[in-house]
Structures are given as C-alpha cells and as structure tokens.
Amino acid sequence: MPPPDHSRAVPPPADPRALGAVPAGAASAHERQLAGELLRAFAERFGPGPKPRLFFAPGRVNLMGAHLDYNGGPVMPTAIDRGTFIAARSAAAGRVRLESLLEAARFEGRLPTGAAAEGSAWPSAASGRWFDYPLGVLRQSQSAGQLDGGVELLFGGNLPIGAGLSSSASICVGTALAVEALAGPAAAGGGPERWVEQALEAERGFVGVRCGIMDPNAVARSRAGHLLWLDCLDGSLEHLPFPGAEVAIGICDSGVRRDLAAGAFNQRVAEAQALLRLLEPDERRARCLRQVPSERFEAERDRIDALLARRGSHVFSELARTFRARELLGAGRLAEFGGLLTSTHESLRVNYEVSTPELDLLVELAVAQPGVWGSRLTGAGFGGCTVLLGAPGGEAEIGAAIAAGFAARFGRQPGVRFYRGDAGPRELLL
C-alpha cells in the first residue's frame, strides 16, 4: 500500500490582479516531478518550438449533498491536491492536437473556420473517448474568440480517471484555464466563472452527461482549508472553514471504473425528473425536487411507484442531512458531521442504488477503525472511490487496516490516500 501522502504544502495563489485572470503558484516538489515528466513527453511528442506553459486543475471530493446538485439542493465538496496537469502552447494555422500520458487515444484536427477550414477534421459529435472533454471546451473557446490560431495540449497528472474524483471537470476546467491564459488579454472577462460555464457546456452539450453544477464549481472555485457550500438552486456559494489540522480526509479507491456517459447516471437524473413531475406537474411551481415540500412526498410515498419512492427517500433525506451537516460544521461538531456521511452512504446504497459491494466494504472497514467518524461513496457511485473523515494522527493505521480487509475479500489492494484541500486551478511556475 502506498504510504499516506502529506508531502504537498499548498502554495498560496499569487495575487490574480498581478497576473490577469489566471492565478499562478510556485510548484511543490511532487508537482515539479510530474511537470518535468510532462515537459519531456511534450518535447518528444510535439517536437521543437516555444516552451509550453504548465497548468493545474484539481480533482474534488464531495462530502455531503450526494446527487443533490441536479435536484437543486446544497452540496459540500472540496478540491483535493491531486489533479490534471496540462502542458500547453499555441499552434499555427488552426492546428489542434490533444494527447494524454494517461490515455492512448489522441486527437489531431484543424479549427473549422477561417483559413484553416479546408481539410478540417473537427468532429461535430462526441466520440466516446477522453478527448471529447477538452474538445467540448475548445469549441466554446473558439466561439468566444479565444482560439484564433490553434493549440497543442498534453494532459497528465495524478488524478485517477473515472474514479468519482471529477477527472472530467478537472480536464475541462484545466483546458479552459490554459486556453484563456494562452489567449492573454484577448480573454478579458474570463476567470473561474467562465471556466465553470465552459466545462458544464462541454459535459452537457457535447459529451452528453446531464451533470449538475457541483463538479466544475468545486474544481474551479474551492479554497484550501474550506468546504464549498454551493446552493444549486440559485448557484450561490460560500466557503466554510474546514481546517486541515483538525480533520483527515481519506480517499479509498475500489479500483472499479465507470463511465458516466454510459447511462446509469443519466438514468438517475431522469428518475428524479419523473418523480418531480409526479409530485408537482406544474413546471412553474417547481423546477427541481428541492422546491417540493418533503411533506408532499411523505403524503404520496405509498401511492407512487416503489423505485421512484426509493429515489425520493434519498433526495429528501439527503436534503435534511446536508442542512444539518452545515449546522454541525458551524458548531465544530466534526465527529457528528462525519457520522452523517455514513447515513448518506446507507441511503445511496438502499434508496438511490448507486453503490457496489466494493464501495460498501470500504465504508464498512473505514467506520470500524478507531478515529474514523464516517465514510461514504463519493461522486456519482457505480464504482470509483469512498471518502472517509476522521481525526488526524491515525492515517497510516487506518489505511493499513482498510487495505488488509479489502484484500482479504477481493484479492487486491485498494488505493488509500489522505488528501489536503487545494487552492484551485492555476498556472504552475517551476
């Protein structure tokens, strides 16, 4: 098992006003190593030319508000200090190249308009491969006038793909940031809000995942030492103190990967919509389940389809848990806050039916360890990771016990790592 990783000190973002819309920070030793590998690979793959610039966008873990964003509820995610690294440089004649150290498929094409239109290989539909995400962003950068020439992007980093840590939002936000930085002053008016918009449009409009607003907001707008309180009804956002010295955030990777575009996630979104229209047929009165009184659900529950009733049980109980979680956090009652994660997992398992035997075992093992306050699957589910919260100090023992218990049942090691929050997307200055 890899040892718990506390190596990275989060660099404070430099004053964004001094650097335009794109914040920058000095790279840590771990980042320098990854960045060095990326730069070497960039030179090998893309050949001579100007030195590329380096960008980082974190992944995220969501603690409370599971499957609430597309139901209009509040969510409580935070960025983690693992993410997508991108080496980027401008290219001539509308040429676009997208490659990754983590995936074999590569994209090469030309922007579809202007002088470069001839011979364009610009796809009009998603291909089902990883580069759909950056392509979805580039399509918008181009319509926003940020991509007059072309661009060469090499992706890498230390965020597992499809593990529920928001690799897709990390790739999309990182692409938006890199293109904006390369465009320089032409990209005036950009920044985190635009990265979020471009990432959402890429996922919903191009890739075809009906995701909520949580992931790109968590990636683009988190602050170190805080949880984000994002109210998905109106998009308002607060940073709630969540001091790294008082809490350990562990992430256990089941090793099972899933593809959100493959349908199970969209099916949950459709079921939530179906329940909404059953409970409130008038779209003007409620556009999401958050706007339906929970009493109405309770009154109707025995008369509605059993599957939709289970989905509703999760959504309405998770709304109550998430508001309670905020109160507990504000009162410094961290152990009780952590306990709510375990109740959330149970509801995701029984009512929302997005867990797997591997995730259930990781949660069971985690909560059996002294010092662990609670645990749940993170992200959409169907595979991926669990998150645990506990008191700092016992990370090595907790990690070892979970890994041993998991290996005894499934015959392989889960990844167990402890994370700190992250300062958000930035240019890396080596």
For position 62 contacting ligand GLA by CB under 6 A, the verdict is yes
Q: Return the range that interacts with ligand GLA (CB under 6 A); candidates 15-23, 63-71, 102-110, 194-202.
A: 63-71
CB of 146 to ligand GLA, least distance (A): 25
Burial (0-12, 13-18, 19+ Cβ within 10 Å), 145: exposed
Position 136 contacts ligand GLA (CB under 6 A): no
Contact present, 215 and 166 (Cβ < 8 Å): yes
- What is the β-pairing status of strands 372-377 and 236-241? unpaired
Q: Find the shortest distance in angstroms from Cβ 210 to ligand GLA.
A: 9
Q: SS3 for 242?
A: coil
Q: Which is nearer to ligand GLA, 110 or 314 (CB)?
A: 314
Considering beta carbons, is residue 43 or 261 the nearer one to ligand GLA?
A: 261
- What do you get for the CA distance between the two ends of the chain, in Å? 30
| Residue 66 found at the interface with ligand GLA (CB under 6 A) | yes
Q: How far apart are CA 334 and CA 55, in angstroms?
A: 34
Between 376 and 395, how does the x/- string for binding to ligand GLA read (CB under 6 A)? ---xx---------------
Distance from the Cα of residue 272 to its chain's centroid: 21
| Dihedral angle computed from the Cα positions of residues 230, 231, 237 and 239, in that order, rounded to the nearest 10 degrees | -50
Site size with ligand GLA, rule: CB under 6 A: 11
Beta carbon of residue 221, minimum distance to ligand GLA (angstroms, whole number): 14
Nearest residue to 84 via CA among 60, 109, 52? 60
Name the segment binding ligand GLA (CB under 6 A); options: 210-218, 320-328, 357-365, 385-393.
Answer: 210-218
Binding mask 232-271 for ligand GLA (x = CB under 6 A): ----------------------------------------
The stretch near ligand GLA (CB under 6 A) out of 60-68, 180-188, 339-347, 408-416 is 60-68
Segment contacting ligand GLA (CB under 6 A): 66-74, 111-119, 181-189, 406-414?
A: 66-74
Nearest to 253 by CA among 60, 406, 129: 406
Q: Is 5 a catalytic residue?
A: no
Strands 426-429 and 53-64: antiparallel
Contact 82, 419 (CB under 8 A): yes
CB of 364 to ligand GLA, least distance (A): 21
Tell me which stretch binds ligand GLA (CB under 6 A): 45-53, 90-98, 207-215, 383-391: 207-215
CB of 211 to ligand GLA, least distance (A): 3
Nearest distance in Å: CB 181, ligand GLA: 25
Asked if 347 interacts with ligand GLA (CB under 6 A), we say no
Q: Where are the beta strands (DSSP E) in 201-338?
A: 226-231, 236-241, 248-253
Assess 214 for contact with ligand GLA (CB under 6 A): yes
Q: Report the candidate in 132, 108, 94 with the shortest Cα–Cα distance to residue 45.
A: 108
Q: Which of 21, 56, 67, 328 binds ligand GLA (CB under 6 A)?
A: 67
212 contributes a contact to ligand GLA by CB under 6 A: yes
Q: Determine which one of 69, 81, 215, 422 is catalytic.
A: 215
Could you tell me the two tokens for 175?
């692409």
165 binds ligand GLA (CB under 6 A): no
**Which residues are bridge partners to 230 per DSSP?**
75, 237
What gap in Å lies between CA 414 and CA 404, rounded to an integer?
Answer: 9
Residue whose C-alpha is closest to residue 153's, from 216, 96, 77, 238? 96
CB 258 within 8 A of CB 382: yes
Give the three-class secondary structure for 206. Answer: helix
Nearest residue (CB) to ligand GLA, 11 versus 74: 74
Q: How far is the CB of 33 from ligand GLA (least distance, A)?
A: 29
Q: Tell me the residue ranges of DSSP E strands in 208-316.
A: 226-231, 236-241, 248-253
According to CB under 6 A, which one of 152, 180, 215, 253 is a site residue for ligand GLA?
Answer: 215
Instruction: Compute the least distance from the CB of residue 380 to ligand GLA, in Å.
Output: 3
Is 66 or 403 the residue whose CB approaches ligand GLA more closely? 66
Answer yes or no whether residue 175 interacts with ligand GLA by CB under 6 A: no
For the segment 70-89, give every residue that binds ligand GLA (CB under 6 A).
70
Q: Number of helices (H) and strands (E), helices first, in the chain?
A: 12, 13
Name the DSSP class of 160.
-
Least distance from ligand GLA to the Cβ atom of residue 119, Å: 35
How many angstroms separate the CA atoms of 237 and 74, rounded?
A: 9
**CA separation for the pair 378, 72 (Å, rounded):** 18
Give the footprint of ligand GLA on this chain (CB under 6 A): 62, 66-67, 69-70, 211-212, 214-215, 379-380
Residues that are catalytic:
215
